[in-house]
Structure 1
Amino acid sequence: MLQEKHGDLDAEKRKKLITRLLEDLSRSNPDLYYQPTSQIALQIKQQVDEGTNLSNEDRALLSPLTLRDIEVLLSLH
């Protein structure tokens, strides 16, 4: 049960981090709204891989995500 709550907490942290990265991208790229989700997910994945604006803990939390995982999280936004 404790493991389950930890997983839920990680999932919530991931959603918040993805949202924060999306907001950062939106500020620097006003046309982001018109890009396909797959393209936005790729840009976020690149940010994660480079560690841009992420602490080591945040990067470790997002690194295992695939492009498809990021796309799904974006679609829930």
Structure 2
Amino acid sequence: MLEEKRKDLDAEKQKKILLRLVNELSQSSPDLYYRPTSDIAAYLEKYIRGDAKLTVDERTLMNRLSRRDLEVLLSLH
């Protein structure tokens, strides 16, 4: 039960971080909103693995996500 709650908490943190990163990327790429979800996920994946200003914990959480995971999270928003 504790493990399940931890996973839920991690998922919520990932969603918040993802939204923050999308907002950051939208500042430099205003047309991001109009791109296909798969393109945005690929862009985010590269950003997360590279230049994103993330804490060590945030980077660890986000590195767990595959491109497909990012697509799903984006489509839920």
Q: TM-score, normalised by structure 2?
A: 0.95
- Which ranges in structure 1 are unaligned for 5 or more consecutive residues? none
Partner letter of residue 21 of structure 1?
L
Provide runs of 4+ in structure 1 moved above 6 Å. none
The aligned length equals 77
Q: How does 1:1-77 map to 2 (within 5 A)?
A: 1-77=1-77
Coordinate RMSD, CA, aligned = 0.9
Q: TM-score, normalised by structure 1?
A: 0.95
> Deviations 1:6-25 (Å, cap 9, x if unpaired)?
01000000000110000111
> Deviations 1:1-58 (Å, cap 9, x if unpaired)?
1111101000000000110000111111111111100010011101111152111110
